[in-house]
């Protein structure tokens, strides 16, 4: 999937960034961690009109659009839609329980903070929609929270694209260690979250 998403962004540029980020914010398994850095890399190599700023804004606006769709679906149809047809796009009960637990613990600020947390950021719109929180505040917090996330990921790709020849060697040598460290961190975070949910 990572290769397919990267190829799609490389072929369609800014439009692909927007479309994939909308889908990701609706709960589809299209990770922004792949989409945004690829957009940033294309901006660095001059393949996207408007450059890195356009990529960041496209990602943040798309995140808002997708989140509003997810909010609207949850508010209108509730869990029967999310856990019924929603399962075909990867939505699972534990996703909703995790996001709902975060939302209940932190309230409205969860929408802002949750935008920079893996998994939570994708599904936080659903409990917000189920609770039917103020739409204006939801929209503002979503955009403000999505902007730094999209900027950080796009800038990673941008810096990589601008300095590829200089850093490709060290990156290759450290790639396995970095990948293992990230995998361990994600597993610890995931199982800790499951233990807190079950407890």
Q: Are 65 and 25 contacting, i.e. CB atoms less than 8 angstroms apart?
A: yes
Give the domain ranges of the chain: 2-162, 165-199
Cα separation, 141 vs 113, in Å, equals: 9
Give the pLDDT mean for 151-178. 65
pLDDT surpassing 60 at residue 165: no
Q: At 19, phi and psi to the nearest 5?
A: -65, -45
Rg (CA), the chain: 17
pTM for the complete prediction? 0.71
pLDDT score at 164: 53
Give the pLDDT mean for 126-146. 86
Instruction: Give the model confidence (pLDDT) of 53-106 as tens digits.
Output: 999 999 999 999 999 998 898 888 777 766 676 565 556 677 667 767 767 777
């Amino acid at each position: 999937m990572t290769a397919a998403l990267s190829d799609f962004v490389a072929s369609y540029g800014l439009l692909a960034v927007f479309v994939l980020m909308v889908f990701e914010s609706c709960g589809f398994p299209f990770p922004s961690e792949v989409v945004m850095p690829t957009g940033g890399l294309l901006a660095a190599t001059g393949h996207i009109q408007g450059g890195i700023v356009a990529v960041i804004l496209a990602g943040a606006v798309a995140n808002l659009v997708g989140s509003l769709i997810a909010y609207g679906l949850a508010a209108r149809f509730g869990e029967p839609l999310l856990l019924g047809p929603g399962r075909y796009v990867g939505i699972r009960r534990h996703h909703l329980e995790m996001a709902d637990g975060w939302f209940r613990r932190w309230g409205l600020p969860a929408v802002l903070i949750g935008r920079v947390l893996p998994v939570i950021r994708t599904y936080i719109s659903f409990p917000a929609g189920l609770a039917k929180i103020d739409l204006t505040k939801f929209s503002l917090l979503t955009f403000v929270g999505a902007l730094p996330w999209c900027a950080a990921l796009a800038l990673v790709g941008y810096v990589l694209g601008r300095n590829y020849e200089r850093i490709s060697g060290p990156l290759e040598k450290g790639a396995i260690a970095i990948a293992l460290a990230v995998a361990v961190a994600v597993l610890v975070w995931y199982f800790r979250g499951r233990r807190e949910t079950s407890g």
